[in-house]
Amino acid sequence: MRNDRVDEMSAPVWVLYDGKDGLRSQVMGVAEAVGLPFEEKRLETRYPWKVLPPSLWPNARHAPGRGGDRLLPPWPRLIICAGGRASAPSLSVRKAARGRCLVVQIQDPKIAPRHFDLMLIPEHDKVRAPNIMVTRGAPHRVTPQKLAEAAGIWGPRLAHLGTPRVAVLIGGDNGAYRLNPPLMARIANQLAVLAEQGAGLMITPSRRTGEAVEQVLRARLAKLPVEIWNGAGDNPYFGYLALADHVLATADSISMITEASATGKPVHVIPLEGGARKFEIFHQAMREAGVTRPFAGALDSWTYQPRDDTAEAGERIRALMRERDLWP
């Protein structure tokens, strides 16, 4: 089997990421915007690669271990990868394909931009180069079509909720922010007041929320007419966004806030403990663009024009593939 085989019985696009839900949403969103069939590749890095920075990985195409998907020919014409650990294997595949493969990198992998065909970098990251497209936040999968479809599915299921409808997106601890039970209790009290005033709350915790924090939320809202997704069955995330008149999202997730902003609805950011410069730059940009406002317990209304960086990225990638004679 020759390592330079391209596109023989292979999806023309691979999406590579290290298993994180946020990264998956980004690569999938860009792949869907490109519009070609794609194959999902979830990477789990094995020793010795996992103890080295990606810029030093030898034979990086062989870094994925048994817990993830292997990278084997036939090769794709396009790889969309996200995060640092997917970058080196993607570049290694392009080398094996003798250059007949474009690599689009999402986020800064700490590898020089010149190695990639295109990079999608958010405004709050400093790296810049001619082949970089600067995005306001994170690429995502939220589109008007998906929201319309979700509204049709979830509208009847959530018809019992009051108005205004409020989607509440709860994150959790990360390297910058903390969400502990006492803080969750304060946030839950604010949410309870909204529910008592008649608002229909549609709440989805995340994996990072944690059981102890989620229990505080559920206990405080237990006797109120709200919906809190328990993680079982169909994911109502798109339905919540579609049906909401307002969106509340915790400050720890750039992805959630960017996805919420695709709806064109008021996005209220719930402050958490902690912070970091990249988040501060992002939140400031979103406030100055008129997209978000801090949440202090009340629901304000405002309008703005949604910015669709993901669709623009899809257009740029299609043009680049045609320019390199790689469009199927």
Q: ∠ CA(313), CA(319), CA(324), 5° rounding?
A: 125
DSSP secondary structure letters along 31-77? HHHHTS-EEEEE--B-TTGGGS-GGG-TTGGG-B-TTS----SSBPS
What's the pLDDT band for 8 if we cut at 50, 70, 90?
low
42-51, 173-182, 187-196, 302-311, range with the lowest pLDDT = 42-51
What's the pLDDT band for 121 if we cut at 50, 70, 90?
very high
Q: Which CATH superfamily is domain 144-294 in?
A: Glycogen Phosphorylase B; (3.40.50.2000)
Instruction: Mention the CATH class of domain 13-136+310-323.
Output: alpha beta
Report whether 85 contacts 107 (CB < 8 A): no
pTM greater than the 0.85 cutoff: yes
Indicate if 144-294 has the same CATH topology as 13-136+310-323: yes
Counting residues of the chain whose pLDDT is more than 70, the rounded percentage is: 97
Distance of CA 159 to the CA centre of its chain: 28
> What pLDDT does 6 receive?
56
> What pLDDT does 67 receive?
77
Report whether 35 contacts 12 (CB < 8 A): no
In the three-class reduction of DSSP (H, G, I as helix; E, B as strand; rest coil), residue 321 is classed as helix
The angle that helices 211-221 and 181-196 make with each other, rounded to 10 degrees, is 30
**Sequence spans of domains, the chain:** 13-136+310-323, 144-294
pLDDT tens per residue across span 191-224: 999 999 999 999 999 999 999 999 999 999 999 9
Distances, alpha carbon 22 to alpha carbons 107, 169, 220, 258, 266, in Å = 12, 14, 28, 11, 22
Distance, CA of 6 to CA of 104 (rounded, Å): 17
> What pLDDT does 1 receive?
38
- When pLDDT is averaged across residues 215-234 and rounded to a whole number, the result is 96
Q: Is 300 left (phi over 0), alpha (psi -120 to 50) or beta?
A: beta
Single out the residue of 116, 46, 172 nearest to residue 316, CA to CA.
116
